[in-house]
Chain A
Amino acid sequence: MRPETRAEIESLFERYPQKRGALLPAIYLVQAEKGFVDADGARELAALFEIAPVEVHEVLSFYNMFYTEPQGRHHVYVCTNLPCSLRGARTLLKGLESHLGVHGPGTTRDGRITIGHEECLGSCGTAPVMRVDGAYHENLDLGAARRIVDELE
């Protein structure tokens, strides 16, 4: 990991009575470098937090927002839980995947976008909803969703 990343992680330790409390924020910081955490990254985190690498990998594999494999430059996740599905989210997702030329969850061939579904994003009042990287896009229809993904570089 970059020295700045390491320094930032170390500055988080004092916020928690046990340094391991800083692990989730630390993983986000390491992940921000390459878009995922590879085996070396996991080993470095393990050394920094004084735990076994397998324990880091347990955490990486448990949470949806951590990745151990390379990702597209952008994440596009359409919520397909009940309130959104009631308002056509699954149809929208299929249309969007087709638009991007991806079958089911996956990454476009040019590595631009990883598209998939996500569980309830907490925006049921404005369904259908998708999350693009850090931002929510609400009250979607397929046209709006297509326009949004087309803007992504």
Chain B
Amino acid sequence: MIVEPYVRNYLSEHYGDDAYRTLAGYEAKGGFAGLKKAVALAPEQVVELVKASGLRGRGGAGFATGLKWSFMPRTSDRMKVIVINGDESEPGSFKDRLIMERGPFAVLEGILIGAWAMGAQRSYIYVRGEYAEAIRALRSAVAELYKKKLLGKNILGKKGFEHDVVVHGGAGAYICGEETGLLESLEGKKGQPRKKPPFPAQHGAFGLPTTVNNIETFAHVPFIVERGVEWFKGRGTEKSPGTTLFGVSGHVERPGLFELPLGTPLREVIGHAGGVRGGRRLKGVMPGGLSMQILPPTELDVPMAEEFLSQRGTHLGTGGVMVMDESVCMVRVATVVSYFFRDESCGQCTQCREGTAWVHKLCQRIEQGRGTEADLALLTDVPKLMEGQTICAFADAAAWPIQGLLRHFRSDFEAHLSERKCPFPESFEL
């Protein structure tokens, strides 16, 4: 049984209703009103609308969506393509899966609005291969849209407005969630991110002008177009309007998804999840998925939006909140984290390929009680060798959590050195 959002808002309001997953059910709840409004506007006006709304991408980077849409060339003698990133593989993140399974039509309506705005003729929804159910739900929704002529040619009777959607499954590689890694994988190659220039808007999928956006990002679009910019900016923060589905996991009473306005304090988000399990003390929380730096309990008042989290030395990422209680050994956490990045590095860039492996080996040794002061010094230095110098941000994502753990929980590491074993007997097993 999939976890339904325990707190709902406009996006997930009807997720509990099975009919919402059918076109008729979706339309009954106001679906496609947004698209109808959009096609009454000129495409450029729709782009401006999305820009004005301040919608930020929900895939982890938080880039301004309207601005990204404006990068697509106005006219092109080649086909223009939208790619929807459904590769959700960030540990701690499980919102896109729910959106695809329970609310696929909002995503598709958002895609069609984007297609109108950007003049794109084709979309590829790239869904991670493990999400078999989500792929089925999307394919079923797409089939319904074709039947009702909301896909294909002359959509909504508009001559020249044609769009095709292909749902394309991945095959198990986190790096295929990176924008250009995804494009490589879509093209049938290894998902190794591309150097930039060239940029996807000029040379994207199959060399065509392409815009890549996250599943959830598209899901917000119909609501924004239908209900208006002011309505959208009325929830969330000034720089990060709207809601998102926060995923809370780990040591909480009620892990799951919670649709809340951006800017909700972290304490409140965790509170919705029932607080730390068994009434224990909180030790640390990762606010934005595995790639983002951990926060200590003193930072729980931080509003959950990028502009605030970045002031505290971390990021919103995909809003995957992972809660750790007092039993947890942070060196074991570092070992789990570093193993993940070692396993998922695509292997192109020297710093990432060699650095992720070195960091993992150091964490392992320290965790097993065989570490030295020199190893701890290296654990500080090696992430610095990795940061900010690679083709994509994976090396940053691999470096930051380790740096965060060392910054706030250095004593856990030092205890492993001095006691030559893990001093947290209650901690989860490795």
Contact = CB atoms under 8 A, between A and B. Distances in A.
Report if A and B touch in the complex (beta carbons < 8 A).
yes
A142 to B, nearest CB: 12
A124 B92 contact: yes
B429 to A, nearest CB: 5
B320 interface: yes
Given A82-B91, A83-B322, A123 B190 contact: no
Contact of B94 (A58, A82, A119, A125): A125
Interface string B171-203: 111100000000001111111000000000000
Interface residues of A, number: 48
B171 A63 contact: yes
Interface stretch (B103-111, B251-259, B307-315, B377-385): B251-259
Q: Which of A21, A59, A120 has the largest count of B CB atoms less than 10 A from its CB?
A: A120
Contact of B93 (A16, A65, A86, A124): A124
A16 B93 CA distance: 30
Given A119-B343, A120-B91, A49 B131 contact: no
Interface in B315-371: 320, 322, 324, 328, 332-333, 336-337, 340, 343-344
A120 B206 CA distance: 29
A127 B132 contact: no
Contact of B206 (A16, A63, A126): A16
Contacts of B92: 82-83, 120, 124
Contacts of A120: 89-93, 290, 340
B189 A82 contact: no
Contacts, number: 162
Nearest to A123: B94
Given A82-B92, A119-B343, A124 B322 contact: yes
A15 interface: yes
B188 A122 contact: no
Interface stretch (B60-68, B112-120, B162-170, B219-227): B162-170
Q: Which of B133, B169, B188, B322 has the largest count of A CB atoms less than 10 A from its CB?
A: B188
Nearest to A121: B130
A64 interface: yes
Given A83-B250, A120-B290, A122-B93, 7 more contacts: A15-B166, A59-B188, A81-B336, A85-B428, A122-B128, A124-B249, A126-B255
Interface of B: 1-3, 79, 88-94, 96-97, 128-133, 166, 168-174, 185-191, 205-206, 208, 247-251, 255-257, 286, 290, 320, 322, 324, 328, 332-333, 336-337, 340, 343-344, 428-430
